[in-house]
Structure 1
Amino acid sequence: MLKAEEGGTAVVVCSTCRFSAQARDDDRGVRGGARLGEALRALAATDTRYAGIAIHDMPCLFACGDHCTVHLRAPGKVSYVLGRFAPDRDAARAILDYAARYADSDHGSVPYAEWPEGVKGHFITRSPPEGYVAT
Protein backbone atom coordinates (compact mmCIF):
# COMPACT_ATOMS: atom_id res chain seq x y z
CA MET A 1 0.00 0.00 0.00
CA LEU A 2 2.91 2.40 0.69
CA LYS A 3 6.06 2.80 -1.37
CA ALA A 4 9.16 4.33 0.20
CA GLU A 5 10.58 7.44 -1.44
CA GLU A 6 13.64 9.54 -0.65
CA GLY A 7 13.22 12.27 1.95
CA GLY A 8 13.52 15.96 1.16
CA THR A 9 11.30 18.41 -0.62
CA ALA A 10 8.80 16.72 -2.91
CA VAL A 11 5.82 17.53 -5.09
CA VAL A 12 3.43 14.58 -5.04
CA VAL A 13 1.13 14.71 -8.05
CA CYS A 14 -2.31 13.12 -8.02
CA SER A 15 -1.87 11.05 -11.17
CA THR A 16 -5.59 10.27 -11.45
CA CYS A 17 -6.90 13.84 -11.07
CA ARG A 18 -9.44 15.16 -13.52
CA PHE A 19 -8.23 17.21 -16.49
CA SER A 20 -10.50 20.12 -15.56
CA ALA A 21 -13.65 20.89 -13.60
CA GLN A 22 -15.65 19.82 -16.68
CA ALA A 23 -13.62 16.94 -18.13
CA ARG A 24 -12.11 13.79 -16.68
CA ASP A 25 -9.59 13.24 -19.51
CA ASP A 26 -7.98 15.30 -22.25
CA ASP A 27 -8.78 14.72 -25.94
CA ARG A 28 -6.39 11.73 -25.96
CA GLY A 29 -8.00 10.06 -22.94
CA VAL A 30 -5.24 11.05 -20.48
CA ARG A 31 -6.05 12.36 -17.00
CA GLY A 32 -5.05 15.89 -16.09
CA GLY A 33 -2.94 14.73 -13.16
CA ALA A 34 -0.86 12.55 -15.48
CA ARG A 35 -0.39 15.52 -17.83
CA LEU A 36 0.59 17.81 -14.93
CA GLY A 37 3.12 15.23 -13.73
CA GLU A 38 4.62 15.09 -17.23
CA ALA A 39 4.87 18.89 -17.35
CA LEU A 40 6.51 19.04 -13.90
CA ARG A 41 9.10 16.39 -14.78
CA ALA A 42 9.88 17.93 -18.18
CA LEU A 43 10.43 21.37 -16.68
CA ALA A 44 12.44 20.06 -13.72
CA ALA A 45 14.74 18.22 -16.11
CA THR A 46 15.63 21.46 -17.90
CA ASP A 47 16.16 23.86 -14.99
CA THR A 48 18.77 23.39 -12.27
CA ARG A 49 16.79 25.56 -9.81
CA TYR A 50 14.54 22.54 -9.30
CA ALA A 51 17.31 19.97 -8.82
CA GLY A 52 16.52 19.36 -5.12
CA ILE A 53 12.79 18.87 -5.65
CA ALA A 54 11.55 15.32 -6.17
CA ILE A 55 8.40 14.72 -8.20
CA HIS A 56 6.34 11.67 -7.29
CA ASP A 57 3.06 10.31 -8.63
CA MET A 58 0.33 8.96 -6.39
CA PRO A 59 -3.08 7.75 -7.50
CA CYS A 60 -5.73 9.90 -5.81
CA LEU A 61 -4.97 12.47 -3.15
CA PHE A 62 -8.68 12.46 -2.21
CA ALA A 63 -9.10 16.08 -3.33
CA CYS A 64 -11.68 15.07 -5.92
CA GLY A 65 -13.65 18.31 -5.59
CA ASP A 66 -10.67 19.98 -7.25
CA HIS A 67 -8.72 18.97 -10.35
CA CYS A 68 -4.97 18.70 -10.97
CA THR A 69 -3.89 18.59 -7.31
CA VAL A 70 -0.43 18.30 -5.82
CA HIS A 71 0.91 17.81 -2.30
CA LEU A 72 4.02 19.79 -1.40
CA ARG A 73 5.96 18.32 1.51
CA ALA A 74 9.32 18.18 3.26
CA PRO A 75 10.44 16.68 6.58
CA GLY A 76 9.75 18.97 9.54
CA LYS A 77 7.82 21.51 7.45
CA VAL A 78 4.20 22.49 7.03
CA SER A 79 2.84 20.74 3.93
CA TYR A 80 0.30 21.99 1.41
CA VAL A 81 -2.26 20.62 -1.01
CA LEU A 82 -2.82 22.83 -4.03
CA GLY A 83 -5.20 22.27 -6.92
CA ARG A 84 -7.34 23.58 -9.74
CA PHE A 85 -4.35 23.90 -12.07
CA ALA A 86 -4.30 23.59 -15.82
CA PRO A 87 -2.08 20.59 -16.63
CA ASP A 88 0.50 22.63 -18.51
CA ARG A 89 3.99 24.13 -18.41
CA ASP A 90 2.83 27.45 -16.89
CA ALA A 91 1.25 25.69 -13.93
CA ALA A 92 4.30 23.43 -13.58
CA ARG A 93 6.59 26.48 -13.46
CA ALA A 94 4.46 28.20 -10.80
CA ILE A 95 4.37 25.02 -8.69
CA LEU A 96 8.11 24.43 -8.98
CA ASP A 97 8.96 28.09 -8.38
CA TYR A 98 6.91 27.96 -5.18
CA ALA A 99 8.45 24.60 -4.25
CA ALA A 100 11.95 26.07 -4.61
CA ARG A 101 11.07 28.91 -2.22
CA TYR A 102 9.43 26.37 0.10
CA ALA A 103 12.59 24.24 0.07
CA ASP A 104 14.64 27.28 1.08
CA SER A 105 12.30 28.18 3.95
CA ASP A 106 12.91 27.14 7.54
CA HIS A 107 9.48 25.71 8.33
CA GLY A 108 7.62 25.66 5.01
CA SER A 109 6.20 29.16 5.26
CA VAL A 110 6.85 31.33 2.19
CA PRO A 111 5.99 35.04 2.52
CA TYR A 112 3.00 35.91 0.33
CA ALA A 113 5.02 38.58 -1.51
CA GLU A 114 7.28 35.75 -2.79
CA TRP A 115 4.48 33.54 -4.09
CA PRO A 116 4.46 33.11 -7.86
CA GLU A 117 1.26 34.52 -9.31
CA GLY A 118 0.36 31.10 -10.69
CA VAL A 119 -0.15 29.51 -7.23
CA LYS A 120 -2.28 32.27 -5.73
CA GLY A 121 -5.82 30.99 -5.24
CA HIS A 122 -4.75 27.35 -5.63
CA PHE A 123 -4.12 26.41 -1.99
CA ILE A 124 -6.61 23.87 -0.61
CA THR A 125 -5.09 22.77 2.73
CA ARG A 126 -2.03 23.11 4.91
CA SER A 127 -0.98 20.45 7.40
CA PRO A 128 1.54 20.65 10.22
CA PRO A 129 4.45 18.24 10.37
CA GLU A 130 4.18 15.36 12.83
CA GLY A 131 4.51 16.57 16.41
CA TYR A 132 3.80 20.25 15.63
CA VAL A 133 1.08 22.75 14.89
CA ALA A 134 1.53 26.00 13.00
CA THR A 135 1.32 29.26 14.89
Structure 2
Amino acid sequence: MLTPVSNGPAVVACSTCRHSAEARDDAEGMRGGARLAEALRTVRETDPRYAAIAVQEMPCLFACKDFCTVHLRAPGKVSYVLGRFTPDEEAARAILDYAAHYTASKFGRVPFSDWPEGVKGHFITRSPPEGFVAT
Protein backbone atom coordinates (compact mmCIF):
# COMPACT_ATOMS: atom_id res chain seq x y z
CA MET A 1 0.00 0.00 0.00
CA LEU A 2 1.19 3.51 -0.76
CA THR A 3 0.41 6.59 1.33
CA PRO A 4 0.63 10.03 -0.31
CA VAL A 5 3.19 12.43 1.19
CA SER A 6 4.54 15.82 0.18
CA ASN A 7 6.56 15.74 -3.02
CA GLY A 8 9.38 17.99 -1.85
CA PRO A 9 12.80 17.16 -0.44
CA ALA A 10 12.57 14.40 2.16
CA VAL A 11 14.54 12.07 4.35
CA VAL A 12 12.59 8.81 4.49
CA ALA A 13 13.67 6.76 7.50
CA CYS A 14 13.18 3.02 7.62
CA SER A 15 11.05 2.71 10.75
CA THR A 16 11.69 -1.02 11.18
CA CYS A 17 15.50 -1.04 10.79
CA ARG A 18 17.65 -2.83 13.31
CA HIS A 19 19.28 -0.81 16.05
CA SER A 20 22.74 -2.07 15.09
CA ALA A 21 24.43 -5.01 13.38
CA GLU A 22 24.19 -6.89 16.69
CA ALA A 23 20.78 -5.86 18.03
CA ARG A 24 17.29 -5.42 16.62
CA ASP A 25 16.03 -3.16 19.43
CA ASP A 26 17.63 -0.73 21.84
CA ALA A 27 17.60 -1.15 25.63
CA GLU A 28 14.01 0.17 25.77
CA GLY A 29 12.77 -2.25 23.10
CA MET A 30 12.59 0.32 20.29
CA ARG A 31 13.82 -0.42 16.78
CA GLY A 32 16.80 1.60 15.60
CA GLY A 33 14.92 2.97 12.59
CA ALA A 34 12.11 4.31 14.74
CA ARG A 35 14.68 5.85 17.10
CA LEU A 36 16.53 7.47 14.16
CA ALA A 37 13.26 8.87 12.76
CA GLU A 38 12.53 10.34 16.18
CA ALA A 39 16.00 11.92 16.32
CA LEU A 40 15.59 13.32 12.79
CA ARG A 41 12.31 15.01 13.74
CA THR A 42 13.81 16.39 16.97
CA VAL A 43 16.85 17.84 15.20
CA ARG A 44 14.76 19.15 12.30
CA GLU A 45 12.78 21.28 14.73
CA THR A 46 15.95 22.93 16.12
CA ASP A 47 17.27 24.59 12.96
CA PRO A 48 15.42 26.63 10.31
CA ARG A 49 17.87 25.36 7.64
CA TYR A 50 16.00 22.05 7.79
CA ALA A 51 12.48 23.50 7.42
CA ALA A 52 12.16 22.57 3.72
CA ILE A 53 13.16 18.94 4.37
CA ALA A 54 10.37 16.58 5.35
CA VAL A 55 11.08 13.68 7.68
CA GLN A 56 9.00 10.71 6.63
CA GLU A 57 8.90 7.06 7.74
CA MET A 58 8.38 3.85 5.85
CA PRO A 59 8.56 0.29 7.14
CA CYS A 60 11.49 -1.55 5.60
CA LEU A 61 13.62 -0.02 2.86
CA PHE A 62 14.99 -3.54 2.16
CA ALA A 63 18.51 -2.55 3.24
CA CYS A 64 18.43 -4.84 6.27
CA LYS A 65 22.15 -5.62 6.18
CA ASP A 66 22.77 -1.87 6.53
CA PHE A 67 20.83 -1.01 9.70
CA CYS A 68 19.40 2.46 10.39
CA THR A 69 18.87 3.40 6.75
CA VAL A 70 17.38 6.50 5.20
CA HIS A 71 16.39 7.42 1.65
CA LEU A 72 17.14 11.01 0.63
CA ARG A 73 15.01 12.18 -2.27
CA ALA A 74 13.64 15.22 -4.07
CA PRO A 75 11.84 15.70 -7.40
CA GLY A 76 14.21 15.79 -10.39
CA LYS A 77 17.28 14.87 -8.34
CA VAL A 78 19.43 11.81 -7.89
CA SER A 79 18.35 10.06 -4.69
CA TYR A 80 20.50 8.24 -2.15
CA VAL A 81 20.13 5.46 0.37
CA LEU A 82 22.44 5.79 3.36
CA GLY A 83 22.80 3.45 6.32
CA ARG A 84 24.80 2.05 9.20
CA PHE A 85 24.01 5.03 11.43
CA THR A 86 23.72 5.11 15.17
CA PRO A 87 20.13 6.15 15.89
CA ASP A 88 20.94 9.38 17.71
CA GLU A 89 20.85 13.14 17.29
CA GLU A 90 24.48 13.35 16.12
CA ALA A 91 23.73 11.07 13.16
CA ALA A 92 20.43 12.87 12.54
CA ARG A 93 22.21 16.23 12.39
CA ALA A 94 24.78 14.90 9.90
CA ILE A 95 22.00 13.48 7.73
CA LEU A 96 20.03 16.74 7.82
CA ASP A 97 23.16 18.84 7.19
CA TYR A 98 23.82 16.76 4.08
CA ALA A 99 20.12 16.98 3.14
CA ALA A 100 20.30 20.80 3.35
CA HIS A 101 23.19 20.84 0.85
CA TYR A 102 21.34 18.27 -1.28
CA THR A 103 18.17 20.37 -1.28
CA ALA A 104 20.12 23.45 -2.39
CA SER A 105 21.86 21.56 -5.21
CA LYS A 106 20.57 21.55 -8.77
CA PHE A 107 20.56 17.79 -9.46
CA GLY A 108 21.27 16.26 -6.05
CA ARG A 109 25.05 16.21 -6.29
CA VAL A 110 26.80 17.66 -3.26
CA PRO A 111 30.54 18.43 -3.53
CA PHE A 112 32.54 16.10 -1.29
CA SER A 113 34.01 19.14 0.48
CA ASP A 114 30.47 19.94 1.73
CA TRP A 115 29.75 16.46 3.09
CA PRO A 116 29.42 16.39 6.87
CA GLU A 117 31.88 13.94 8.41
CA GLY A 118 28.96 11.96 9.82
CA VAL A 119 27.71 10.80 6.39
CA LYS A 120 31.04 9.78 4.89
CA GLY A 121 31.14 6.02 4.47
CA HIS A 122 27.36 5.67 4.90
CA PHE A 123 26.23 5.77 1.27
CA ILE A 124 24.71 2.51 0.00
CA THR A 125 23.09 3.38 -3.34
CA ARG A 126 22.18 6.26 -5.60
CA SER A 127 19.26 6.21 -8.02
CA PRO A 128 18.46 8.48 -10.93
CA PRO A 129 15.24 10.49 -10.94
CA GLU A 130 12.42 9.20 -13.08
CA GLY A 131 13.15 9.71 -16.79
CA PHE A 132 16.90 10.34 -16.33
CA VAL A 133 20.22 8.62 -15.73
CA ALA A 134 23.21 10.26 -14.06
CA THR A 135 26.25 11.01 -16.19
TM-score scaled to structure 2, two decimals? 0.99
Q: Which residue of 2 aligns with 1:59?
A: 59
- Describe the SS at the equivalent of 1:43: helix
2:40 equivalent to 1:40: yes
Q: Distance in 2 between matches of 1:108 and 1:95?
A: 14
State the aligned residue count: 135
Alignment map for 1:1-135 (pairs within 5 Å): 1-135=1-135
Partner deviation per Cα, 1:58-115 (whole Å, 9 max, x = no partner): 0000001110000000000000000000000100000000000000000000001100
Q: Considering only aligned residues, what root-mean-square deviation do their CA atoms show, in Å? A: 0.4
Q: Which letter does structure 1 place at the counterpart of 2:72?
A: L
The SS at the match of 1:118 is helix
Identity %: 73
Counterpart-to-counterpart distance in 1, 2:131 and 2:57: 26
Tell me the CA shift for residue 22 of structure 1.
0.3
Letter in 2 for 1:107: F
1:69 & 1:19 partners in 2: Cα distance?
10
Structure 2 portions without partners, runs of 5+: none
Matched residue type, 2:73: R
Q: Please, which runs of 5 or more residues in structure 1 have no aligned partner?
A: none
Task: Report SS of the residue matched to 1:124.
Answer: strand
The one-letter code sitting in structure 1 at the alignment partner of 2:41 is R
Q: Which amino acid aligns with 2:27?
A: D
| Secondary structure at 2:46 match in 1 | coil
Provide the C-alpha distance between the structure 1 equivalents of 2:129 and 2:92, rounded to a whole number of angstroms.
Answer: 25
Tell me how far 1:46 sits from its aligned partner: 1.3
